[in-house]
Structure formats: C-alpha cells, structure tokens
Amino acid sequence: MAVEMQWIKRLNDFVTRAHELAEVLPHGMEGQAIGIELRRAIATMQSAIEKLPSARSSEAARRTGELRQALGECGRWLQLIASARLVQSLRLDELLTEVRKLNEAFANGQIGVAESTPAPDGAGSKRRAAPARSRSRGVVRARSSATRAVA
C-alpha cells in the first residue's frame, strides 16, 4: 500500500474537521467566498485520499503530490480565516496545528509512497501482447482483392 492507513485516517479526520469549520463560517460575503474556496480544497484533498490506497506506485506519487498541494491550500485558507478573524475558536487553532504537523510529515517522508517491490520471476513485468496488425490488414487486403475481382 502506498500510504499507511494511520495517515489516511488522520487525513480523513482533518478533512472532516475542516469541513465542519467551513460550515460555521459567517454568512457574509467574505465568509462565504472563503468557505467556497476552502470546501473546494477539501474536496480535492478528499478525492486524492480516496484514490491513494488503490493507486499503483507511479500514480501514488502523483496522488501524494496532489494531496500535499491541497493540504497546503487548505492551510492557506485556514490561515486567512484566522487572520481575518472570521472564526476564533479552539477548532481553528487545532486545524492550523494539524496542517503544520501534516506538512512536516510530508517533508520528513513519513507520508509518502512506499517503494514497491518487483514481482517474483518478473510476473508483474510481462506485457500483454499487442493485437496482431497483420490480421486486420489481411482482412482489408482480402476485401480489396475481392472488390477488384468483382470490378
């Protein structure tokens, strides 16, 4: 598996708590605009998290990068909420702390793609045979020769 389940659970918990915060933002224009952007970043994170366990190693590296980018974006929106004093709560402080800890975990390589081991006897490296083109060309040639014979 590309990312350990404990990190996936922790990321899902973060997404849930951030979404709850987005729901309690003030209903003014500023609060709603930031809420929309925060929800979009959360949705991006959620999508990347859902696809991580099933991703192959090359795709998992890309998904992990998307996840890290979305986490950074969530962090920026949370920081803006704190700076604008839209919400002053312990929940916001906890989320900002969690963003820092998760970013540190990404930077330290604690959250990332595990190296995949090659399959024994090269079983995973066998390529599927490409369809024979000669068969399709043969059919085309047969039709064209039959068409010539009729004409």
Q: Which tens digit of pLDDT belongs to each residue from 3-28?
A: 678 888 999 999 999 999 999 999 88
Write out pLDDT tens, residues 22-66. Answer: 999 998 888 999 999 999 999 999 998 888 777 677 777 788 888
User: Where are the chain's structural domains?
Assistant: 5-115
Q: Please state, for a pLDDT cut of 90, what percent of the chain lies above it.
A: 41
CATH of 5-115, one of 3.40.50.10470, 1.20.1440.60, 3.40.50.620, 1.10.645.10: 1.20.1440.60
* CA-angle at 118, arms to 117 and 119, nearest 5°: 115
Backbone angles phi and psi of 90, in degrees to 5: -65, -35
Of 33, 38, 46, whose CA–CA distance to 22 is shortest? Answer: 38
Write out pLDDT tens, residues 84-122. Answer: 899 888 999 999 999 999 999 888 887 765 544 344 444
Stated pTM of the model: 0.68
